[in-house]
């Protein structure tokens, strides 16, 4: 498992945080450490989860993954 900070565009309130948490919680192999307005910190099993999996989940919630560190 590797820790990544995700920068997410389009989040502006607590409801946005809830939507992103819910979307990320559906990604198998990903563990959420924290979600705040504009960013999330997650642990990822890089053998099963790609950046595309993460981006797709975030976009499905209506936001955009800007970068992953």
Collapse the DSSP code of 8 into the 3-class scheme (helix H, G, I; strand E, B; otherwise coil) and give the result. strand
pLDDT tens digits, residue range 18-54? 999 999 999 999 999 999 999 999 999 999 999 999 9
What per-residue confidence (pLDDT) applies to 17? 97
Q: Is the pLDDT of residue 69 over 90?
A: no
What per-residue confidence (pLDDT) applies to 68? 87
For the chain, the domains span 2-68
Q: Is the pLDDT of residue 14 over 90?
A: yes
- Centre a 10 Å sphere on the Cβ of residue 46 and count the other Cβ atoms it contains: 11
Collapse the DSSP code of 59 into the 3-class scheme (helix H, G, I; strand E, B; otherwise coil) and give the result. helix
- Centre a 10 Å sphere on the Cβ of residue 11 and count the other Cβ atoms it contains: 22
**CATH of 2-68 among 3.40.50.720, 3.40.30.10, 3.30.70.100, 3.30.1490.20:** 3.30.70.100
Spatial neighbors of 10 by CB under 8 A, at least 6 apart, are 16, 62, 63, 64
């Amino acid at each position: 498992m590797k820790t990544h900070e995700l920068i997410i565009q389009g989040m502006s309130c607590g409801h946005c945080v809830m939507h992103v948490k819910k979307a990320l919680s559906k990604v198998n192999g990903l563990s959420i450490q924290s979600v705040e307005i504009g960013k999330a910190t997650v642990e990822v099993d890089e053998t099963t989860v790609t950046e595309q999996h993460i981006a797709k989940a975030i976009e499905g919630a209506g936001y955009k993954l800007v970068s992953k560190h």
